[in-house]
């Protein structure tokens, strides 16, 4: 009788220990694969929830949905949880799945190169070490590189200055004059906190965001007891939130009437919280709802109406030692400068250098804008599977749902590779091109084409967002079709 030998699955290196990296790691564990390593530059897990510790930092997606489906948390303190609770949840998940012991902390990645002779990836750390892997999974996210504005004189400011994603907790802002540049998702969370302690806050607004009420509640002990003893109740809460988000997502491309509803909701919110017509006019957006991400807050508008807050809409022309100079020649004096200017979201995998077959460099492939088949894999880069890659960001739902879809797809690839030792999977160029053509055609009908935002690169290409519902993405990634790939044998050509 012939003996059968189980093939050893390929080793997997995951870059990043945030939600994306943990999504892949936990799915590998659930599928029975243990040969993986997570390389994490920092000394703790958490990704954006480790880095963003500014006052009021939290998530604008309700926690029952902003969590792994296979690991619900009955102990969330509130519907929209804050940074520390989200980071704590990730730490618990990593411990429970035995992932923590597979993380190499303090290990930044400088680059990676596909070795065609062996069919393996050679990952080079910032310390010069080379780690080999059968499968490489970059999970560094889209919001990991803070963006600083290109303003003359930025280095001349004589006070404290920092980005919201690198908050200076040693800076005592009590009684200080604080200048805030930017009015994105982070700023609407920390500005109300600054208003309470600063002598004066000047908010420099380039474009007003659409803000809707935040339907938050503090979960009471009876909520948590119910979620723990009757898990179906938390599943119902999760499903209800998911359904609302799916409906709102339709308004971004396929159902424009939904945007009218959002506009009315946001306008009423603004009118009810800002009685001064002059300030209200400043805070009224001049673009369609959804073109930039809608924000949730019950505290931002009231903070702006306080006597110690000024909203400045004049263009900033330079930073001077004593503060900020605007186009009208006024110098707005400040003791502290806080940049709430977002992230370099279109610069995927920066600053890593990634080379594939034939020496192809990923940065060259993406010269006109990042793209990937299903947002996961790129031709000429075999066994490279991205998490939270190009066109997988969302305008109105939980990114964790997308990460789970990608993680499950990647596990299917690992399973397929385990049964084909010595082979690498390289997505066919025509398959990837066809997917991107259809995707960009649909993105061309989206609301994101109607204003400038971090969703688009300098050429105007939308490189970040998925133009559909998370259900549509789940269906597209549910099954890995090997017909989409060429099987590349080590040291040989593909078939």
Residue 341 pLDDT > 90 = yes
Tokens encoding 1: 């009788």
- The model's pLDDT over 387-428, given as tens digits with 9 standing for 90+, comes to 999 999 998 899 999 999 999 999 999 999 999 888 999 999
- Which residue, chain included where needed, has tokens 């385990």? 418
Q: What is the DSSP string of 116-184?
A: TTTTEEEEEETTS-EEEESEEEE---SS-SB-----TTGGG--SEEEEGGG--TTS--TT-EEEEE--S
Contact 9, 33 (CB under 8 A): yes
Spatial strand order of the sheet with 177-181 comes to 160-163, 336-339, 177-181, 200-204, 309-312
Contact 401, 395 (CB under 8 A): no
Residue 210 pLDDT > 50 = yes
- The model's pLDDT over 276-294, given as tens digits with 9 standing for 90+, comes to 999 999 999 999 999 998 9
- The model's pLDDT over 115-149, given as tens digits with 9 standing for 90+, comes to 999 999 999 999 999 999 999 999 998 888 888 99
Q: State how far the Cα of 204 lies from the Cα of 372, in Å rounded to an integer.
A: 36
- The model's pLDDT over 226-263, given as tens digits with 9 standing for 90+, comes to 999 999 999 999 999 999 999 999 988 888 899 999 99
Contact 19, 51 (CB under 8 A): no
Residue-level pLDDT at 323: 97
Contacts of 176 (CB under 8 A, 6+ apart): 198, 199, 335, 336
Q: State how far the Cα of 416 lies from the Cα of 484, in Å rounded to an integer.
A: 13
- The model's pLDDT over 13-44, given as tens digits with 9 standing for 90+, comes to 999 999 999 999 999 999 999 999 999 999 99
Nearest residue to 93 (alpha-carbon basis) of 19, 172, 149? 19
Residue-level pLDDT at 293: 87
User: What CA–CA distances, in Å, run from 78 to 59, 223, 404, 422?
Assistant: 11, 10, 23, 49
Confidence of residue 2 (pLDDT cuts 50, 70, 90): very low
Mean of pLDDT values over 42-66 = 96
Residue-level pLDDT at 10: 84
Domain with CATH 3.50.50.60 in the chain: 12-145+345-489, 160-210+257-339
Output the CATH code of domain 160-210+257-339: 3.50.50.60
Tokens encoding 492: 């040989």
Residue 491 pLDDT > 90 = no
Asked if the peptide bond before residue 351 counts as cis, ω within 30 degrees of 0, the response is yes
Residue 311 pLDDT > 90 = yes
Pairing of strands 423-427, 295-296: unpaired
Confidence of residue 101 (pLDDT cuts 50, 70, 90): very high
Pairing of strands 36-39, 103-104: parallel
Residue-level pLDDT at 495: 58
User: What CA–CA distances, in Å, run from 134 to 122, 410, 490?
Assistant: 9, 13, 11
Contacts of 435 (CB under 8 A, 6+ apart): 373, 374
Interior angle at CA 253, CA 399 and CA 243, nearest 5: 50
pTM (two decimals): 0.94
Pairing of strands 177-181, 200-204: parallel
CATH architecture of 12-145+345-489: 3-Layer(bba) Sandwich (3.50)
Residue-level pLDDT at 417: 96
Residue 494 pLDDT > 70 = no
| Between residues 493 and 319, the one the model is more confident about | 319
Q: State how far the Cα of 191 lies from the Cα of 183, in Å rounded to an integer.
A: 9
Residue 71 pLDDT > 70 = yes
Confidence of residue 6 (pLDDT cuts 50, 70, 90): very low
Residue 170: how many CB atoms within 10 A of its CB? 7
Mean of pLDDT values over 355-372 = 95
């Amino acid at each position: 009788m012939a003996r059968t030998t189980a093939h050893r699955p390929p080793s997997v290196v995951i870059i990043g220990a945030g939600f994306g990296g943990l999504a892949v790691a936990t799915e590998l564990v659930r599928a029975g694969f243990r040969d993986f390593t997570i390389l994490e530059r920092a000394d703790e897990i958490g990704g954006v929830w480790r880095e963003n510790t500014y006052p009021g930092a939290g998530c604008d997606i309700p926690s029952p949905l902003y969590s792994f489906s296979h690991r619900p948390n009955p102990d969330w303190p509130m519907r929209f949880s804050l940074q520390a609770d989200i980071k704590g949840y990730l730490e618990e998940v990593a411990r429970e799945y035995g992932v923590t012991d597979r993380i190499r902390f303090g290990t930044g990645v400088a680059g990676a190169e596909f070795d065609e002779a062996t069919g393996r990836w050679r990952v080079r750390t910032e310390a010069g070490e080379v780690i080999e892997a059968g499968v490489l999974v970059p999970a560094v996210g889209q919001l990991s590189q803070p963006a600083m504005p290109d303003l003359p004189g930025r280095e001349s400011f004589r006070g404290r200055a920092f980005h919201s994603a690198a908050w200076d907790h040693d800076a005592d802002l009590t009684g200080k004059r604080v200048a805030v540049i930017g009015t994105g998702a982070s700023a609407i969370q920390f500005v109300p906190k600054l208003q309470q302690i600063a002598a004066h806050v000047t908010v420099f607004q380039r474009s007003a965001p659409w803000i809707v009420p935040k339907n938050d509640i503090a979960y009471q002990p009876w909520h948590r007891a119910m979620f723990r003893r009757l898990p179906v109740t938390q599943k119902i809460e999760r499903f209800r939130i998911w359904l609302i988000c799916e409906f709102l997502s339709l308004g971004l491309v396929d159902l424009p009437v939904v945007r009218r509803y959002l506009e009315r909701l946001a306008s009423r919110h603004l009118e009810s919280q800002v009685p001064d017509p002059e300030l209200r006019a400043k805070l009224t957006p001049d673009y369609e709802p959804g073109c930039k991400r809608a924000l949730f807050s019950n505290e931002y508008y009231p903070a702006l109406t306080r006597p110690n807050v000024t909203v400045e809409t004049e263009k900033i022309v330079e930073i001077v030692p004593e503060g900020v100079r605007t186009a009208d020649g006024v110098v707005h004096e400040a003791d502290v400068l806080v940049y709430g200017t977002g992230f370099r979201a279109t610069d995927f995998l920066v600053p890593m250098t990634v080379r594939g077959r034939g020496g192809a460099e990923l940065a060259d492939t993406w010269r006109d804008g990042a793209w990937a088949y299903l947002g996961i894999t790129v031709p000429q880069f075999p066994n490279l599977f991205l998490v939270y890659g190009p066109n997988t960001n969302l305008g109105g739902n939980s990114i964790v749902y997308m990460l789970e879809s990608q993680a499950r797809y990647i596990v299917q690839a690992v399973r397929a590779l385990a049964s084909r030792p010595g082979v690498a999977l390289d997505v066919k160029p025509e398959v990837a091109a066809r997917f991107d053509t259809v995707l960009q055609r649909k993105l061309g009908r989206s609301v994101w084409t109607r204003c400038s935002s971090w969703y688009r690169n300098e050429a105007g290409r939308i490189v970040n967002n998925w133009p559909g519902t998370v259900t549509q993405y789940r269906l597209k990634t549910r099954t890995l079709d090997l017909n989409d790939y060429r099987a590349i044998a080590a040291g040989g050509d593909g078939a």
